[in-house]
Chains A and B, each alone.
Chain A
Amino acid sequence: MKPAAFDYVRPDRLEDAADLLAEDGVGTKIVSGAQSLGPMLNLRLVRPGRLLDVTAIPALRTVEDAGDAVVIGACITHADIEDGRVPDAWGGMLRQLASGIAYRAVRNRGTVGGSLCHADPAADWLSILTALGAEARLYSRRGRRTVALESFVLGAFETALAADEILEAVRIPKLSGRARWGYSKSCRKAGEFAHAIGVVVDDPETGRCRAVIGATETPPILVADARGLLSGDGTVQADWVLRLLGEAGMQDPFEQQIHLVALERAGAQARL
Chain B
Amino acid sequence: MTTRSIELTVNGTVCRAEVEPRTALADFLRDDLLLTGTHLGCEHGVCGACTVNIDGVPARSCITYAVLCDKAHVTTIEGFDGDEVVGRLRQAFSEEHGLQCGFCTPGMIATARDIVLRLPEADDARVRLELSGNLCRCTGYSGIVRAIRRVLDERKLAGQPAVNARTRLGPAGSGHAGASLGRERVGAGAAPAPAEAALPAPSQGSVAALPGDKLSGDAKPSVAVRHSFVVPERRDRVWAFFENVEDVVACMPGASLTEATPDGRLSGQMSVRLGPISATFLGNAEIARDPARYSGTIRGHGRDRTSGSGSTGEIRYALVDEGERTRVDIDVTASLTGTLAQFGRLGLVNDLVRRLTDAFSANLQARLRPGEPGGAAGEALAQPARLDLASMLLAVIGARLRLIANRLRGR
Contacts and interface: CB of A to CB of B under 8 A. Distances in A.
B394 interface: yes
Determine chain A's interface SS by DSSP, over half rule.
Answer: loop
B68 A53 contact: yes
B63 A77 contact: no
A103 B133 contact: yes
A230 interface: no
Nearest to A63: B169
B102 interface: no
Most chain A Cβ neighbours within 10 Å, of B51, B130, B169: B169
A47 B306 contact: yes
B132 A33 contact: no
Contacts of B173: 109
Contacts of A11: 179, 181
A108 B55 CA distance: 10
A77 B171 contact: yes
A35 B191 contact: no
Interface string B336-366: 0001101111011001000000000000000
Contacts of A4: 22, 195-196, 198
B64 A217 contact: no
A217 B275 contact: no
Contact of A10 (B168, B170, B179, B344): B179
Given A12-B179, A51-B21, A109 B60 contact: yes
Interface in A101-125: 102-106, 108-111, 119-120, 122
Interface stretch (B40-48, B150-158, B235-243): B40-48
Contact of B132 (A7, A13, A190): A190
Given A8-B182, A16-B181, A108-B57, A44 B194 contact: no
Contacts of B133: 102-106, 191
B93 interface: no
A158 interface: yes
B132 A189 contact: yes
Given A155-B389, A189-B132, A55 B170 contact: yes
B17 interface: no
Contacts of A56: 174-175, 177-180
Interface in B248-277: 274-277
A158 B306 CA distance: 21
A222 B274 CA distance: 23
A80 interface: yes
A34 B181 CA distance: 19
A179 interface: no
Interface stretch (A21-29, A126-134, A264-272): A21-29
Contact of A44 (B179, B339, B344, B389): B339
A217 B347 contact: yes
B390 interface: yes
Given A155-B390, A156-B351, A191-B133, A109 B64 contact: yes
A169 to B, nearest CB: 12
A33 B57 CA distance: 14
A154 B393 CA distance: 8
Contacts of B390: 154-155, 158
A6 B22 contact: yes
A127 to B, nearest CB: 16
Interface string A34-61: 1101111111111111110101100011
Nearest to A38: B63
B58 A105 contact: yes
B174 A109 contact: yes
B238 to A, nearest CB: 27
B27 interface: yes
A44 B307 contact: yes
Interface residues of A, number: 80
A76 B169 CA distance: 6
Interface string A68-110: 0000010111011001011000000000000000111110111
Nearest to A74: B170
Interface in B123-153: 129-130, 132-134
A1 interface: yes
Contacts of A191: 132-133
A27 B21 CA distance: 15
Contacts of A184: none
B335 interface: no
B45 A38 contact: yes
Contacts of B343: 39-40, 43, 45
A47 B196 contact: yes
B193 A49 contact: yes
Contacts of A6: 21-22, 195
B154 to A, nearest CB: 22
B192 A7 contact: yes
A109 B172 contact: yes
A140 interface: no
Contacts of A79: 57, 166, 172
Contacts of A47: 194-196, 306
Most chain B Cβ neighbours within 10 Å, of A6, A61, A104, A218: A104
Contacts of A240: none
Given A5-B1, A41-B22, A156-B274, A108 B194 contact: no
A55 B129 CA distance: 29
Nearest to A100: B129
A37 B343 CA distance: 12
B314 interface: no
Closest CB pairs A-B (n = 6): A157-B275, A103-B133, A38-B63, A8-B21, A55-B174, A39-B44
Interface of A: 1-13, 16, 20, 25-27, 29, 31-35, 37-51, 53, 55-56, 60-63, 73, 75-77, 79-80, 83, 85-86, 102-106, 108-111, 119-120, 122, 154-158, 189-191, 193, 217-218, 247, 249
Given A109-B59, A217-B347, 4 more contacts: A2-B24, A44-B306, A55-B68, A56-B178
15 contacts: A8-B67, A11-B181, A16-B179, A38-B44, A42-B43, A45-B339, A51-B21, A60-B170, A62-B169, A75-B170, A103-B134, A105-B48, A109-B59, A109-B64, A156-B351
